[in-house]
Amino acid sequence: MSNAVWVVQTSLPGEWIEAEVGTWSAELVEGGLAACVQRDRITSVYSWEGSTESTEEWRVEIKTSQSKKDRLIEVILYNHPYETPQIVAWEAISTPGYSDWVQG
């Protein structure tokens, strides 16, 4: 197996409570699309419809395999509460043990 894992990152509304973010994250793991989901509170500053906005959000970082990445992104898009969600993905090199675990 390769030492690569895929990291998919998105953000969720800051007004969501921990339980809502936890449920949203757990569904990805329980559905077999993610090996691990990490989340933390952040402040995002961005341009939206001609204005500069600053919003509290949850950053959600998801570890998955290359074979599951595209389906994971589809599911995020389908279930995401934002009109235009941030979804970015990149390949990361990891230790053999961790990447084997993520690959399943």
Instruction: Examine the pLDDT at 50 and tell me if it is beyond 60.
Output: yes
Residue range 11-43, pLDDT digits in tens: 999 999 999 999 999 999 999 999 999 999 999
- Using the 8-state DSSP alphabet, how is residue 26 labeled? H
For the chain, what is the domain count? 1
Contacts of residue 35, defined as CB under 8 A and 6 or more positions apart, other chains included, come to: 5, 29, 63, 64, 65, 101, 102, 104
State the pTM of this model.
Answer: 0.93
* 23: containing domain: 4-103
Share of the chain above pLDDT 70, in %: 99
Tokens 């500053």 correspond to what residue?
A: 45
- Kindly report the CATH number assigned to the domain that includes residue 62: 3.30.70.120
What are the helix (H) ranges across 40-95? Answer: 66-79
